[in-house]
């Protein structure tokens, strides 16, 4: 009873305190990125279009991805997999708005997305069954957990919202993990990753599985273009050195297509893509491989271009092209496959760069 | 005072490290590789038969072990590594591409420039090894198609080596040396140049551990001796030994000999390799001899750990923050 009342009051406070603020009050950052500082601590940064620091908020541990609220200056920073918490942060002052705790028997997988102004969706693991779940959290109720439903597969990682504003696309990576075994992959022989399209009532619109020969291509990261085209990036779990697709494109109702790259470029990806993004103008898609130290852009008009950059991983749309971040602190603009240095920070940028 | 000493000391070790890496390791190793592959091409031209080419093949392969761990620079930007050494070859691509060339007697072998368009699987040391050592080619004669193929692959290797050597001398040595200078679009700081070399040491050790040793080891239940690298020419262990020696030299140049724990770890691993009497790791299938290969693998693993723990902090770099995260 008491708990409910407290929750209600907290909800009222959250609702009454923040709605008037916008991202302008947080300095109008264009991107969010987590980083490791030279002293070994971690922080979340707001970055300008030119890669300059707008704000810095200390994090208690290494983050993975962040979700930016579409309107209000609030960011949700997810702990590194298999984390049991996510932090909702007020980006105007760095204060913690709420800590999201995964319920007993669950952990987060590191990605989340706002469905609308009120609802945050996160990927989760139901530890005992191994079933992937999507949890829902209500901002209006101070980020109370309001429900969950199946993700349509095992090991959901990234998820994105389609332009219709109500359909989620989920990368079910297919890999079963259990926190007792850290990040050990428990089902590589039988894994079946898929791309699931879900409504928030839990109904499934479509599910795309890869052909059996590619069942060890773990679908992990996603981007969605304005017209609903989904780019999905994969990580190969099979025999090393095989040239398997690591980028797929899919539009609902159509077959998936897998762009082919010159074999030398394919090899440079090392079977592993860490992030994927459409260009700001939608004309190309970029994938990064921190293991191969490359950013590859695949254009509808200008073919494949590859750029060598050690430990590169984060990539997000910007202008005509992309902005990319790396573990050496670099922030680069990439247009037509050509990189230009924007900034070099004395910190290691983490896996993902999130456009606001 | 203490700070002054530190400030003066750290940059000097860093620049000394890069210069030593270039002048004492990278450039001489590439020159040796160029010379050895030229001699291979000359030997094959003079007498293409297997027994005549084999000594030069081994010399050239030895020289390749002196440079193969240098994974950054022109070999990366030009993507030449697979053309020199296409391994692991999980789908027998080398065998299939050679069979095709030979069955149709593809005239592409007649010109070194057109030969560069052949699938990378049918180029380099592992294609040459098949022709020199596989039973089905035994006794090929002067003037035969296989003979021309041996000559073409040898010449192609010499061209690849000369290309790398020239790129290092004319361009990349300067790029690596001037990390952080204005106009250097590859290494924006000196630390990035050090990071590239450091990463090369780490990934070179991993390649020995996971591929050269890990592939034949397989699992205890399912050892895979036929997956050993260059087993046809009896070089599997030799490649590990030479690669470890080259990595130790690179690491010594990088750290000016100051990483004593890492040196000791390298020495242990190399001593293990030199005393192991199992040239193609055939022993992995037998529990007692398997153990010796496993001990070598553990020694290589320990060396990698030493590099991370000792050399990384010494240079102010670490192996890939994102590359190692795996998510």
Predicted local distance difference test score (pLDDT) of residue B316: 85
Instruction: Report d(CA B314, CA B302) in Å as an integer.
Output: 18
Domain boundary among B152, B177, B202: B177
Question: Which among B82, B91, B191 is the nearest to A267, CB-wise?
Answer: B82
Predicted local distance difference test score (pLDDT) of residue A33: 95
Domain boundary among B147, B177, B207: B177
- Asked if B321 and A268 come within 8 Å (Cβ–Cβ), the reply is no
Predicted local distance difference test score (pLDDT) of residue A183: 85
Residue B281: how many other CB atoms lie within 10 Å: 29
Residue B135 φ/ψ, nearest 5 degrees: -55, -40
Predicted local distance difference test score (pLDDT) of residue A19: 56
Evaluate whether residue A301 is within a structural domain: no
Report cis status (omega within 30 of 0) of the bond before B88. yes
Residue B59: how many other CB atoms lie within 10 Å: 17
Mark whether B145 and B64 lie in a shared domain.
yes
Residue A291, min C-alpha distance to chain B (Å): 5
pLDDT in tens, B63-120: 999 999 999 999 988 889 999 999 999 889 999 999 999 999 999 998 888 898 899 9
Evaluate whether residue A316 is within a structural domain: no
Mark whether B139 and B246 lie in a shared domain.
no
Residue B19 φ/ψ, nearest 5 degrees: -60, -45
Residue to mutate among B82, B321, B324, with most A CBs inside 10 A, is B321
Assign residue A197 the CATH number of its domain: 2.130.10.10
Evaluate whether residue A286 is within a structural domain: no
Mark whether B60 and B147 lie in a shared domain.
yes
Predicted local distance difference test score (pLDDT) of residue B12: 41
Q: For chain B, say whether A291 makes contact (Cβ under 8 Å).
A: yes
Instruction: Report d(CA A71, CA A94) in Å as an integer.
Output: 17
Question: What's the whole-number mean pLDDT along residues B158-175?
Answer: 98
Residue B24: how many other CB atoms lie within 10 Å: 14
Cβ-based contacts of B323 with chain A (< 8 Å): 290-291, 293, 311, 327
Evaluate whether residue A204 is within a structural domain: yes
Evaluate whether residue B185 is within a structural domain: no
Evaluate whether residue A95 is within a structural domain: yes
Q: Which residue of B has its CA nearest to A36?
A: B321
Stretch among A45-49, B91-95, B143-147 having the lowest mean pLDDT? B91-95
DSSP A103: P
pLDDT higher than threshold 70 for residue B210: yes
pLDDT band at A196 (very low <50, low <70, confident <90, very high): very high
pLDDT in tens, A199-253: 988 899 999 999 999 999 999 999 999 999 999 999 999 877 677 999 999 999 9
The whole domain housing B136 covers 11-177
Q: Which residue of A has its CA nearest to B200?
A: A310
- Asked if B321 and A327 come within 8 Å (Cβ–Cβ), the reply is yes
Percentage above 90 pLDDT, chain B: 84
Report cis status (omega within 30 of 0) of the bond before A82. yes
Q: For chain B, say whether A81 makes contact (Cβ under 8 Å).
A: yes
- Asked if B82 and A341 come within 8 Å (Cβ–Cβ), the reply is no
Q: For chain B, say whether A327 makes contact (Cβ under 8 Å).
A: yes
Evaluate whether residue A305 is within a structural domain: no
Cβ-based contacts of B320 with chain A (< 8 Å): 290-291, 293, 310-311, 327
Question: Which among B77, B199, B327 is the nearest to A351, CB-wise?
Answer: B327
pLDDT in tens, A289-344: 999 899 999 997 678 999 989 899 999 999 999 999 999 999 999 998 899 999 99
Predicted local distance difference test score (pLDDT) of residue B7: 41
DSSP A55: E
Predicted local distance difference test score (pLDDT) of residue B6: 43
Predicted local distance difference test score (pLDDT) of residue A14: 53
What pTM does this model have?
A: 0.82
Predicted local distance difference test score (pLDDT) of residue B327: 82
Q: Which residue of A has its CA nearest to B325?
A: A351
Domain boundary among B117, B149, B177: B177
Question: What's the whole-number mean pLDDT along residues B35-52?
Answer: 98
Residue to mutate among A242, A326, A327, with most B CBs inside 10 A, is A327
Mark whether B232 and B144 lie in a shared domain.
no
Cβ-based contacts of B191 with chain A (< 8 Å): 328
Task: Write down the mean pLDDT value for chain B.
Answer: 92
Cβ-based contacts of A239 with chain B (< 8 Å): 90
The structural domain count of chain B equals 2
Q: Which residue of A has its CA nearest to B73?
A: A308
pLDDT higher than threshold 60 for residue A260: yes
Mark whether B49 and B161 lie in a shared domain.
yes
The structural domain count of chain A equals 1
Predicted local distance difference test score (pLDDT) of residue A263: 78
Question: Which among A272, A330, A350 is the nearest to B188, CB-wise?
Answer: A330
- Asked if B79 and A328 come within 8 Å (Cβ–Cβ), the reply is no
Evaluate whether residue A127 is within a structural domain: yes
Predicted local distance difference test score (pLDDT) of residue B1: 36
Assign residue B260 the CATH number of its domain: 1.20.120
- Asked if A311 and B320 come within 8 Å (Cβ–Cβ), the reply is yes
Instruction: Report d(CA A220, CA A232) in Å as an integer.
Output: 7
Question: Which among B82, B91, B199 is the nearest to A310, CB-wise?
Answer: B199
Residue B144, min C-alpha distance to chain A (Å): 31
Mark whether B169 and B256 lie in a shared domain.
no
Instruction: Write down the ipTM of this complex.
Output: 0.81
Evaluate whether residue B182 is within a structural domain: no
Mark whether B40 and B130 lie in a shared domain.
yes
Cβ-based contacts of A344 with chain B (< 8 Å): 188-189
Token pair listed for B222 = 């399912």
pLDDT higher than threshold 80 for residue A8: no
Query: How far is CA A51 from each of CA A26, A340, B68, B102, B205, rounded to the nearest angstrom?
Result: 15, 11, 36, 55, 35
Evaluate whether residue B3 is within a structural domain: no
Evaluate whether residue B183 is within a structural domain: no
Predicted local distance difference test score (pLDDT) of residue B78: 87
The separation between the first and the last C-alpha atoms of chain A, rounded to the nearest angstrom, is 38
Question: What's the whole-number mean pLDDT along residues A155-180?
Answer: 95
Mark whether B209 and B166 lie in a shared domain.
no
pLDDT band at A17 (very low <50, low <70, confident <90, very high): low
Mark whether B196 and B125 lie in a shared domain.
no
Predicted local distance difference test score (pLDDT) of residue A64: 84
Mark whether B165 and B219 lie in a shared domain.
no
Predicted local distance difference test score (pLDDT) of residue B11: 41
Mark whether B64 and B200 lie in a shared domain.
no
Residue B77, min C-alpha distance to chain A (Å): 7
pLDDT higher than threshold 90 for residue B319: no
- Asked if A157 and B327 come within 8 Å (Cβ–Cβ), the reply is yes
The whole domain housing A16 covers 2-269
Assign residue B53 the CATH number of its domain: 1.20.1420.20
- Asked if B322 and A328 come within 8 Å (Cβ–Cβ), the reply is no
Token pair listed for A125 = 């693991």
Stretch among A1-15, A204-218, A309-323, B158-172 having the lowest mean pLDDT? A1-15
- Asked if B79 and A268 come within 8 Å (Cβ–Cβ), the reply is yes
pLDDT higher than threshold 50 for residue A136: yes
Stretch among B13-17, B71-75, B309-313, B317-321 having the lowest mean pLDDT? B13-17
Q: In sequence order, what DSSP letters do the residues of A324-347 get, joined into one string? A: EEETTSEEEEEETTEEEEEEE-SS
| Residues 6+ positions from A10 with CB-CB distance below 8 Å | A142
Query: How far is CA A259 from each of CA A246, A253, A299, B91, B216, rounded to the nearest angstrom?
Result: 9, 18, 10, 22, 34
The burial class, CB within 10 Å (0-12 / 13-18 / 19+), for B277 is: exposed
Question: What's the whole-number mean pLDDT along residues B176-193?
Answer: 92
pLDDT higher than threshold 70 for residue B9: no
pLDDT higher than threshold 50 for residue B10: no
Taking each helix axis from N to C end, the angle separating B260-275 and B236-255, rounded to the nearest 10 degrees, works out to 160
Evaluate whether residue A328 is within a structural domain: no
């Amino acid at each position: 009873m008491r708990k409910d009342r407290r929750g209600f009051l907290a909800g009222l406070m959250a609702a009454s305190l923040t709605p008037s603020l916008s991202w302008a009050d947080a300095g109008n950052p264009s991107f969010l990125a987590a980083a490791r500082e030279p002293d070994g601590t971690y922080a979340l940064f707001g970055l300008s279009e030119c890669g300059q620091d707008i704000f810095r908020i200390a994090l208690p541990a290494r983050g993975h991805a962040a979700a930016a609220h579409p309107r209000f200056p609030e960011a949700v920073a997810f702990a590194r997999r298999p984390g049991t918490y996510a932090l909702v942060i007020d980006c105007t002052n760095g204060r913690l708005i709420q800590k999201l705790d995964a319920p007993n028997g669950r952990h987060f997988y590191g990605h989340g997305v706002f469905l609308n102004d009120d609802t945050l969706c996160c990927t989760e693991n139901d530890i005992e069954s191994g079933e992937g779940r999507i949890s829902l959290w209500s901002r209006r109720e101070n980020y109370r957990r309001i429900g969950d439903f199946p993700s349509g597969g095992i090991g959901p990682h990234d998820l994105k919202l389609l332009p219709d504003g109500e359909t989620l696309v989920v990368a079910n990576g297919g890999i079963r993990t259990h926190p007792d075994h850290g990040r050990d992959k428990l089902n590589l022989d039988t894994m079946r990753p898929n791309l699931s399209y879900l409504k928030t009532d839990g109904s499934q619109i479509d599910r795309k599985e890869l052909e059996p020969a590619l069942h060890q291509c773990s679908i992990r990261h996603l981007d969605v273009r304005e017209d609903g085209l989904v780019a999905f990036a994969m990580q190969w779990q099979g025999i090393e050195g095989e040239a398997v697709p690591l980028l797929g494109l899919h539009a609902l109702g159509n077959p998936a297509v897998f762009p082919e790259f010159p074999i030398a470029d394919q090899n440079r990806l090392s079977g592993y893509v860490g992030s994927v993004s459409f260009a700001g103008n939608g004309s190309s898609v970029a994938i990064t491989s921190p293991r191969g130290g490359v950013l590859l852009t695949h254009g509808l008009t200008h073919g494949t271009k590859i750029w060598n950059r050690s430990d590169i991983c984060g990539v997000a749309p910007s202008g005509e092209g992309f902005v990319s971040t790396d573990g050496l602190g670099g922030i680069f603009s990439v247009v037509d496959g050509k990189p230009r240095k924007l900034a070099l920070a004395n910190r290691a940028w983490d896996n993902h760069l999130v456009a606001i | 005072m203490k700070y002054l000493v530190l400030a003066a000391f750290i940059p000097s070790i860093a620049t000394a490290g890069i210069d030593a890496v270039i002048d004492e390791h990278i450039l001489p190793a590439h020159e040796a590789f160029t010379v050895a592959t030229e001699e291979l091409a000359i030997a094959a031209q003079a007498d293409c038969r297997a027994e005549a080419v084999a000594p030069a093949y081994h010399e050239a392969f030895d020289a390749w072990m002196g440079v193969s761990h240098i994974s950054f620079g022109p070999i990366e930007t030009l993507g030449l590594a697979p053309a020199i050494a296409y391994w692991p070859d999980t789908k027998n691509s080398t065998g299939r591409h050679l069979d095709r060339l030979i069955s149709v007697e593809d005239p592409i072998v007649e010109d070194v420039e057109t030969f560069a368009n052949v699938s990378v699987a049918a180029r380099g040391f592992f294609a040459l090894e098949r022709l020199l050592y596989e039973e089905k080619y035994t006794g090929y004669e002067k003037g035969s198609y296989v003979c021309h193929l041996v000559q073409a692959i040898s010449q192609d290797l010499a061209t690849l080596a000369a290309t790398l050597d020239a790129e290092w001398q004319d361009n990349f040595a300067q790029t690596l040396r001037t990390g952080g200078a204005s106009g250097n679009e590859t290494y924006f700081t000196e630390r990035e140049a050090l990071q590239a070399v450091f990463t090369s040491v780490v990934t070179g050790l991993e390649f020995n551990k996971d591929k050269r040793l890990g592939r034949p080891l397989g699992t205890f239940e399912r050892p895979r001796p036929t997956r050993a690298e260059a087993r046809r020419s009896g070089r599997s262990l030799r490649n590990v030994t030479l690669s470890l020696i080259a990595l130790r030299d690179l690491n010594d140049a990088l750290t000016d000999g100051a990483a004593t724990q890492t040196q000791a770890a390298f020495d242990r691993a190399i001593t293990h390799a030199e005393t192991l009497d199992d040239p193609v790791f055939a022993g992995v299938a037998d529990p007692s001899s398997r153990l010796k290969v496993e001990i070598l693998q553990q020694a290589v693993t320990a060396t990698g750990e030493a590099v991370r723990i000792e050399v990384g902090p010494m240079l102010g770099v670490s192996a890939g923050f994102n590359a190692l995260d795996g998510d």
